[in-house]
Chain A
Amino acid sequence: MQLKFNTRDPVYMQVIRYFKTQIATGVLEPGEEIPSRREIANMFKINPNTAQRAYKEMEEQGLIRTERNFPSKITRDESVIQHVREELVVTAVNDFVDAIKPVNVPLDELLDLVKQKYAGADDQKGGALDD
């Protein structure tokens, strides 16, 4: 697993964002065990203290649970997972809006375009699966 971190955002936040994406998209399932802090540090080539901080933060946000001497697990709390998913969508939409705003496209036209692209992306995905 290779993840390219940027150098300006705190690394621990980038780690959390990575996990949130994995949770929201279902790659990591509720209750699934995740790698230890050291393994994560090793995998992402980041400072172990930073990995530790990311895990602590995720525990505080209820994203993962750690019982003494056991590997950390993804939360089974549906509301938390739902929240993460929403957050992810909102962030993505915010980014999108921030990017498109300066172009000044009428909203209707934009929505049509989004619908079209969205369906197209699904089609392409389906097509790829058929191969």
Chain B
Amino acid sequence: MIEVKNMVKKFGFKKVLDDVSFTAEKGQITCLIGVNGVGKTTIMNAIMNLTPINGGDILIDGQKLNKHTYEKVTFIPDAITMLPQMKIGEAMEFMSDFYDSWNEARANDMIDFFRLNKNDRINTLSKGNTAKANLLMGLALDVDYVLMDEPFSGIDMFSREQIANVFTSHLIEDRGVIITTHEIQDIEHLIDKAVLLDNGTVYRSFDVEELRENEGKSIVDVMREVYQG
């Protein structure tokens, strides 16, 4: 389980995150929802220790983050994190060089799944294929948790569909996923849990099936309450 407890983050004197708490369980897809600029990416960065926080705790399976955690949690930012001049195959080699948890068989699986070509250079890929290659680098790691920042933004419809398919496939298996998005439509039926952020804090976090069952509301209904109410 990833636990974010009372996280506070300031930029200068401005509090961008104030007392943010939520949990993400293994085997579940947790979605951080909020309009742009609400601090979703900052939360992801903070979980990965890529930005310091001004208060609160982040625990991963009960432990604070350390270098070994990176064999357990991986982050897929909204842009690819490999050198542009690398070929996909070279990027895979890099990953396998540095991560014990790299799963070459699954990486090759994903090459097929996404119909990518290992000999293509990253800077020659289309936006959609870049996003897929980016996903590959993260998902081919045998990690327990995957953090994805806006995996659907700025790419074509068919790539979106293909990426959405990842969530129902063996590629996610029993991992814990935290995903951020500002447009929920693509994945409304894919997620287990929604954490709604507004004004730098958690407005509401809920199990989406329970919400439908108990209140007969969709995620968008709740979002409407937040952002228009």
Contacts and interface: CB of A to CB of B under 8 A. Distances in A.
A117 interface: no
A45 B172 CA distance: 13
A104 interface: no
A68 interface: no
B170 interface: yes
Interface string A96-113: 000000000000000000
B29 A47 contact: yes
B62 interface: no
A8 B27 CA distance: 23
B169 A42 contact: yes
Nearest to A53: B209
A10 B209 CA distance: 5
Contacts of A46: 168, 189-190
A118 to B, nearest CB: 32
Nearest to B219: A7
A18 interface: no
B38 to A, nearest CB: 22
Contacts of A44: 189
Interface residues of B, number: 24
A49 B168 contact: no
Contact of B221 (A5, A8, A41, A49): A8
A14 B194 CA distance: 20
The residue among A7, A13, A41, A47 with the most chain B CB atoms within 10 A of its own CB is A47
Interface in B144-201: 164-165, 167-170, 172, 188-192
Given A41-B168, A42-B165, A47 B189 contact: yes
Nearest to B170: A38
A38 B166 CA distance: 12
Contact of A45 (B27, B165, B212, B219): B165
Contacts of B190: 45-47
Contacts of B219: 7
A10 B29 contact: no
9 closest cross-chain pairs (CB), A and B: A7-B218, A41-B168, A10-B212, A42-B168, A10-B213, A46-B189, A8-B218, A10-B209, A47-B190
Interface of B: 27-29, 164-165, 167-170, 172, 188-192, 209, 212-213, 216-221
